[in-house]
Amino acid sequence: MAWYFLRRLLAAVPVLIGLSIVAFLLIHFVPGDPVAQMLGGKTTPAHVEMVRHQLGLDAPLWRQYLRFIWGVVHLNLGYSITLNLPVMHVLRNRGTATFWLLLYGVGVAVVISVPLAAWSAIKPDGWVDQGVRFLTTTAFAMPSFWLALVLALIFGLQLHWLPVTGYTPTFPGLFVSLTLPAITLGMSLVAVVIRTLRSTMIEVLSSEYIAAARARGLTERRILLRYGLRNSLGAMVTVIAADIGYLIGGTAVVETVFQIPGLGSLLVQSALQRDYTLVTALAFIAGVAVVVISLVTDFIYALLDPRVKLG
Amino acid sequence: MVGPVSLDPLINTGGNGDNFANELIYQPLVRPDPFGSDALVPGIADRWTISPNGLEYSFHIRDNARWANGEPVTADDVKFSLDRFGNPKLNQFLPSMAIGYKATQVIDSHNVVVHLTQPVSAMLYNIGFWVGFIYPKKPVEQQGKAFFNKPIGSGPFMVENWTPGSSITFVRNPYYWETGKPYLDEVKYLYATDDNSRMLALRSGQVQAVDGVPFEQVDTFRSNPKVYLQFTKTPYFEDVSLNHRKPYFTDLNVRQALQYAIDKESINKEIFAGTGTIPNSCLPQLKYDGTNQQVQPYAYDLAKAKQLMSKSSYPSGFETTLQYPAGFAYYSKLALVLQSEWDQIGVNVRLIEEDQGTMTNKFWAEDYEMIFPFAQYTSDEAVPDEYGYLMFDPHGTDGFETHWHDPAIWTMFQQFAKGSEATRQQLWPQIQKAMLIASPTINIMDLPFIQAYANNVRNPWVNVLGASRLEHTWLA
């Protein structure tokens, strides 16, 4: 078991190195210049050169990369020129909003998906199953910026229940201001989770131990919840873990539309302003988050199901 | 718009998002008329005199000017702030505003003299907005950068709470010098960059005021009985820069043909909801501008445009490109209209939509043919001096990256830049006209800033730079 963990950890190292190179190079290959962007274009090239030098942006690329890696090893991700703050400080400030948004979004997805998937699985291809499939496919096809606006129109403009923009960092306002964003984000996950959970449940419900449970005279309700659902949840966790990268990407849109001061909207803004340090750090952190979450999922799986490590 | 990253006025990464917040907190010595004219009115200084040679400006700080902590505003504070303004290492965003600034001399606690190295007629305008804001010397020196997280100014409001990237809550400054003002106890700025969610916030009643109403939504708001619109005349224009390194754009006939081929009336109606003004200048609307009788705008005249093209060195036309900013519905429409209109005179335009970062870089490298260089850009001051230097100064930004130079206009402009008020009034329309005839760039439309307010908002005056201090505003 320990050998398996170690092997998985070691395998993550080249992934992280590759990730750091890609995160660093991508934004540098995009045309544009952070200083020119920051100063807004009404100064002289000589003045831009001076500021660029002040910020150490005139050093060769390989040296800037090494500086970045050296920083990562020392838990220092550099200094954001557009925000005028150390990146670690920015991550602490703005990471909270994204963390709550992701958690709330996943929560919404689970609360919607589990009952619908269970309901669909009882009678595959029955009218409930068809209806759920139609609704989830529709939801999946909606771009999140559009869904966000529709939700804002209904719950903000028509019903006046929830704010359409802005963020409150404290409870219970946090809950209120994140509700529409979390629904928008969660909906992008619902279709995938329902499809996976449904097919796993159908498989589970047709297995021999379910037949045995039926033969023992257990109620359908008990069979479904106790045996069917429980044995299918593993698949759901895997799907959510695998989609976490997708969700993190989704925060960029959702946070921008609802004006949540999180890391997603910050990534968009910093990419537009060519804040190299910040873009590199954010892309790297998002990548690391995906790697860590998939590692943890693997470990939990290995602990729960010893067959996994053989594979 | 994007919210500020620092409430240090000299750190201007968010553009107007920063300016409009700082406008509530700080004041300059003199400031634009809060009711929207292009005049200057007293700010922290209640009176000032200018020496006959134009090199010394003496300011008297009003006796009742106080910081939000109750301490008086002193001459030391003014000197400290203006010295920051004059230091290009600190004043990185608009160092050109400090042209001619030499030093500030403290006479006594209420009097300072600003010394210049050369006469600068626009001096009061150059210090009359955010670059020239005054802050208290002692706390800034003691706290350094941290001061600007919760700064103290002498404006009508002070910061109560700031969630970077999201919102700022301001409360009334009890020591504000205008007795009884401001009327509002609290103001909250929500930074909403997404046009649709910003407009929804007003329509749902979550907020009482929004700015940057998109042109596409003007008609929706016009017909909404719960809100009203305000159109503020500001130096905001949509301008196509032509790269004079391309041989066809050095041909005056071509440039004028491009002007005559644009149907600005219908562009105004179809794209800008009729909110624009047909320009009679290559620059935005500025103080001293001549009237339409003095300087006539280009009319839409396709026959004349074709005739000019046939007279040019390119009678059968040419191929070129137009770069425009991504992310704005109206730029795409505008670019398409221009493409089809110029196509009629044989100018075949390929459209390139690009994000701002890429465009800025290409603009600076003069790697473009035609370009809208910055999305929604404005002059930082109401007088022509800033743009004059950008466009005409042969030692500056290469004709604001157009590579266009006109020694005759530069000579006139130098007279203007150091001239008396009367000289300036007389010279500017001539410069404006000479420039419009030359058309080094093509100003498509002069536009207002558009704000929308809930019906119970009274007196939301906005100054000529588009900023409001909300000191006269109240809720019915």
In the prediction, which pLDDT does A32 show? 77
Residue of A nearest to B327 (CA): A272
Pairing of strands B30-32, A79-80: unpaired
Domain boundary among B133, B149, B165: B149
The shortest CB-CB distance from B6 to any of A32, A84, A265 is to: A84
The shortest CB-CB distance from A261 to any of B94, B166, B355 is to: B166
Q: Do B200 and A164 touch (CB under 8 A)?
A: yes
| Dihedral angle sign, alpha carbons of residues B158, B160, B163, B168 | negative
First to last CA, chain A: 12
Q: How far is B219 from chain A (nearest CA, A)?
A: 18
CB atoms within 10 A of CB A143: 10
pLDDT tens-place string over residues B293-333: 999 999 999 999 999 999 999 999 999 999 999 888 899 99
In the prediction, which pLDDT does B15 show? 79
Q: Which residue has the higher pLDDT, A280 or A310?
A: A280
My answer on whether B161 and B260 are in the same domain is no
My answer on whether B72 and B34 are in the same domain is yes
Token code pair at residue A36: 């020119």
Please name the residues between 140 and 199 in chain A that touch chain B, using a CB distance below 8 Å: 148-149, 152-153, 156-157, 160, 163-167, 169
- What pairs with residue B241 in β-bridges? B371, B441
Residue B1 lies in a domain: no
Give Cα B47 to chain centroid, integer Å. Answer: 26
My answer on whether B145 and B179 are in the same domain is no
Residue B200 is part of which domain span?
157-230+449-475
Token code pair at residue A247: 């969700």
The shortest CB-CB distance from A259 to any of B5, B93, B190 is to: B190
The closest of A246, A248, A306 to A95, measured between CA atoms, is: A248
Please name the residues between 196 and 235 in chain A that touch chain B, using a CB distance below 8 Å: none
Residue B348 lies in a domain: yes
My answer on whether B273 and B181 are in the same domain is no
Q: Which residue has the higher pLDDT, B88 or B61?
A: B61
Q: How far is B306 from chain A (nearest CA, A)?
A: 35
Q: How far is A175 from chain B (nearest CA, A)?
A: 16
In the prediction, which pLDDT does A208 show? 87
Token code pair at residue B301: 């005249």
Angle subtended at Cα B381 by Cα B376 and Cα B385, rounded to the nearest 5 degrees: 110
Pairing of strands B45-50, B40-42: unpaired
In the prediction, which pLDDT does A223 show? 84
Q: Looking at B393-458, list the stretches that DSSP marks H as alpha helix, in order from N- to C-terminal side.
A: 398-401, 407-418, 421-438
My answer on whether B328 and B391 are in the same domain is yes
Residue A309 has pLDDT above 70, yes or no: no
Which one of A164, A170, A178 makes the best mutation probe of the B interface by having the most chain B beta carbons within 10 Å? A164
Q: Which residue has the higher pLDDT, A94 or B454?
A: B454
Cβ atoms of B24 and B157 closer than 8 Å = yes
Distance CA B83, CA B141 (A): 13
My answer on whether B241 and B371 are in the same domain is yes
In the prediction, which pLDDT does A41 show? 66
The mean of the pLDDT values for chain B is 94
pTM comes to 0.86
pLDDT tens-place string over residues B228-239: 999 999 999 999
In the prediction, which pLDDT does A271 show? 86
Residue B204 lies in a domain: yes
Instruction: Find chain A residues with C-beta within 8 A of B357's C-beta.
Output: 30-33, 37, 271-274
pLDDT tens-place string over residues B90-131: 888 888 899 999 999 999 999 999 999 999 999 999 999 999
Q: Which residue has the tokens 């042109």?
A: B215
Q: Do B206 and A256 touch (CB under 8 A)?
A: no
Return the SS3 of B274.
coil
State the angle between helix axes of B356-364 and A263-272 in degrees (0 to 180), rounded to the nearest 10.
Answer: 20
Cβ partners under 8 Å of residue B113, min gap 6? B56, B57, B58, B59, B104, B105, B107
CB atoms within 10 A of CB B19: 20
My answer on whether B283 and B424 are in the same domain is yes
Instruction: Find chain A residues with C-beta within 8 A of B361's C-beta.
Output: 31-33, 36
ipTM: 0.75
Q: How far is B62 from chain A (nearest CA, A)?
A: 33
Q: How confident is the model at residue B30 (pLDDT cuts 50, 70, 90)?
A: very high
Residue B428 has pLDDT above 90, yes or no: yes
Mean pLDDT of B261-289: 96
Distance CA B51, CA B115 (A): 10
Distance CA B389, CA B377 (A): 17
Cβ atoms of B43 and B29 closer than 8 Å = yes
Domain boundary among B149, B176, B192: B149
Instruction: Encode A35-59: b = buried (16+ Cβ within 10 Å), e = exposed.
Output: bbbbbbbbbbeebbebbbeebebee
Mean pLDDT of A34-41: 75
Q: Do A82 and B197 touch (CB under 8 A)?
A: no
CATH number for the domain spanning B269: value is 3.10.105.10
Token code pair at residue B306: 């074709």
In the prediction, which pLDDT does A308 show? 66
Residue of B nearest to A31 (CA): B358
In the prediction, which pLDDT does A31 show? 78
Token code pair at residue B444: 């498509």
The shortest CB-CB distance from B2 to any of A47, A164, A269 is to: A269
- Tally C-beta pairs within 8 A across A and B: 140
Whether chain B has a CB inside 8 Å of the CB on A55: the answer is: no
The closest of B387, B414, B415 to B401, measured between CA atoms, is: B387
- What amino acid occupies position A264? G
My answer on whether B74 and B164 are in the same domain is no
Q: Do A43 and B95 touch (CB under 8 A)?
A: yes
CATH number for the domain spanning B467: value is 3.40.190.10
Output helix, strand, coil percentages for chain B, rounded to the nearest 5.
35, 25, 45
Mean pLDDT of B66-71: 95
Token code pair at residue B180: 């009884």
| Dihedral angle sign, alpha carbons of residues A97, A99, A100, A101 | positive
Token code pair at residue B259: 């002007």
Residue of B nearest to A162 (CA): B206
Which region among A84-93, B203-212, B440-449 has the lowest average model confidence (pLDDT)?
A84-93
Residue of B nearest to A169 (CA): B163
Domain boundary among B149, B176, B197: B149
Residue B52 has pLDDT above 80, yes or no: yes
Residue B421 has pLDDT above 90, yes or no: yes
Instruction: Supply φ then ψ for residue B214, to 5 degrees.
Output: -65, 145
In the prediction, which pLDDT does B1 show? 67
Instruction: Find chain A residues with C-beta within 8 A of B11's C-beta.
Output: 84
Residue B2 lies in a domain: no
Instruction: Find chain A residues with C-beta within 8 A of B90's C-beta.
Output: none
Q: Taking the C-alpha atoms of A161, A163, A167 and A168 in order, what is their torsion angle to the nearest 10 degrees?
A: -40
Please name the residues between 77 and 116 in chain A that touch chain B, using a CB distance below 8 Å: 82-85, 93-94
My answer on whether B126 and B222 are in the same domain is no
CB atoms within 10 A of CB B344: 13
Angle subtended at Cα A211 by Cα A208 and Cα A215, rounded to the nearest 5 degrees: 135
Residue B22 lies in a domain: yes
My answer on whether B217 and B270 are in the same domain is no
pLDDT tens-place string over residues A184-219: 999 988 988 898 889 888 888 888 888 888 888 888
Q: How confident is the model at residue A105 (pLDDT cuts 50, 70, 90)?
A: very high
My answer on whether B98 and B186 are in the same domain is no
> What is the DSSP code (8-state) at residue B289?
P
The mean of the pLDDT values for chain A is 86
Q: How many domains does chain B have?
A: 3
Q: Which residue has the higher pLDDT, B392 or A91?
A: B392
Residue B8 lies in a domain: no
- What amino acid occupies position B12? N
Distance CA B414, CA B189 (A): 41
Residue B394 lies in a domain: yes
Q: Do B203 and A157 touch (CB under 8 A)?
A: yes
My answer on whether B257 and B134 are in the same domain is no
Q: Which residue has the higher pLDDT, A138 or B84?
A: B84
Residue of B nearest to A257 (CA): B194
Q: Do A258 and B197 touch (CB under 8 A)?
A: yes
In chain B, % of residues over pLDDT 70: 100
Return the SS3 of A257.
helix
Q: Do A42 and B362 touch (CB under 8 A)?
A: no
Q: How confident is the model at residue A254 (pLDDT cuts 50, 70, 90)?
A: very high
Instruction: Supply φ then ψ for residue B300, to 5 degrees.
Output: -80, 115
Residue A310 has pLDDT above 60, yes or no: no
Distance CA B107, CA B99 (A): 23
Pairing of strands B370-371, B318-325: parallel
Instruction: Find chain A residues with C-beta within 8 A of B390's C-beta.
Output: 42
Residue B93 lies in a domain: yes
Distance CA A13, CA A8 (A): 9
Distance CA A66, CA B472 (A): 55
CATH number for the domain spanning B99: value is 3.90.76.10
